[in-house]
Amino acid sequence: MSLSDFLQRAVSKWMREGGPEDDIVLTSRIRVARNLQGYPFPILQTDSHADEIVRLMEQAIQSPVMQQLGNYEMVRCRELSPLDRQVFVEKHLISPDLAQQEKHGAMVIREDELVSIMVNEEDHLRIQCILPGLQLLDGWRMASAIDDALEQHLTYAFHDQYGYLTACPTNVGTGIRASVMMHLPGLALTGSINRMLTAVSQVGLAVRGIYGEGSESYGNLYQVSNQITLGETEEEIVANLQSVVYQLIEHERNARKALLARNRTQLEDRVSRSFGILAYARRIDTKETMERLSDVRLGIDLGIIQGVSAGILKELMVMTQPAFLQKYYHRELAATERDIRRAALIRERLRLDDSEVHR
């Protein structure tokens, strides 16, 4: 299979398409946690409880109202190999925790992969909508419609005073986590990133790596999300996050302008060197890949690099991950061989853009 054919099949819509403010905000994600009334939380449930949750969810997604919202398929974790489950993690469709739930875990994936629902993770259900660019409100509307459709067939655990009940107290209330994945190389290169992220934390937001809690930040990518779910409406939570995100966007754009004004030649040299490494390297690890891709995407956004798709950062940050690489090459790869194959895939991907330019 050619890389072009593989991309058409394997790349999610959020990876392929652009959106508002997507020079800085790569994706917007809304995640809604729900539990079913009368059943223990997943950490306490028996095998029969877990199987019942999956059965009820299977019935719910087949309802006419859910079918109006898209085509959904449920897959149990035990039906997938560990490699396939990790591919779903790398595509940001499920969490690393669900990938470990081989016995009881399941996932519901919409055909366009903008929507995924984790079953029997920390909570019975976690509805996730992920959109390209800054589209938090659209993401909330999409998640809310799915939540309402499911609630016509499922009875949620709800308290009149505390709202939706969740396994973790930090999610009690609305059960909503709104987040954006931001590319902030300007703030990093000007030495302002730590000050900005500290300020973000002080207004009640969390800053994490690209795979959420406990993950590292590579390639100047940061996930910014709300921490408070109780005492505010979903719309207020989304609006508060969006307000801070717009301020970060402004600071990042100002930082990029400052970099160009102070030493354009040095910046051009940096992004061109990174492009050269990606275009010609014969071996490269994951961390360096993300760092070089960050430079190249910055160069594309500033007009320094021409003829390369701006979406390449989103595509390759997923495609060059270990499980995805092994899926593409149809076999298990040792770490050293992954580095070699990763470099080859990047070179091939860059040639695709080059052929499009000269067609």
CA distance 15 to 131: 9
What pLDDT was estimated at residue 214? 52
CA distance 92 to 98: 12
Model pLDDT for residues 105-164, shown as the tens digit of each residue: 999 999 999 999 999 999 999 999 999 999 999 999 999 999 999 999 999 999 999 999
CA distance 105 to 98: 6
Which two tokens mark 349?
Answer: 């991907």
Q: Note whether 133 and 18 are within 8 A (CB).
A: yes
What pLDDT was estimated at residue 213? 56
What pLDDT was estimated at residue 357? 43
Alpha-carbon distances of 301 from 184, 308, 325, rounded to whole Å: 12, 10, 27
Q: Is 28 assigned to a binding site? A: yes
- Token pair 């058409």 is found at 8
Give me the amino acid identity at 192.
S
Domain annotation covers residue 210: no
Q: Which residues of the chain carry a pLDDT beneath 50? A: 1, 7, 357-359
Domain annotation covers residue 130: no
Domain annotation covers residue 320: yes
CA distance 44 to 125: 15
Q: Is 178 assigned to a binding site? A: yes
Which two tokens mark 44?
Answer: 């306490």
Domain that holds residue 277: 255-357
Domain annotation covers residue 293: yes
Domain annotation covers residue 318: yes
Residue 36 pairs in a beta bridge with 156
Angle at CA of residue 106, ends 140 and 325, nearest 5°? 90
Q: Is 31 assigned to a binding site? A: yes
Angle at CA of residue 10, ends 7 and 73, nearest 5°? 150
CA distance 197 to 194: 5
Tally of domains within the chain:
1
Domain annotation covers residue 131: no
Q: Is 19 assigned to a binding site? A: no
Domain annotation covers residue 317: yes
Domain annotation covers residue 348: yes
Q: Is 174 assigned to a binding site? A: no
Q: Is 164 assigned to a binding site? A: no
What pLDDT was estimated at residue 334? 95
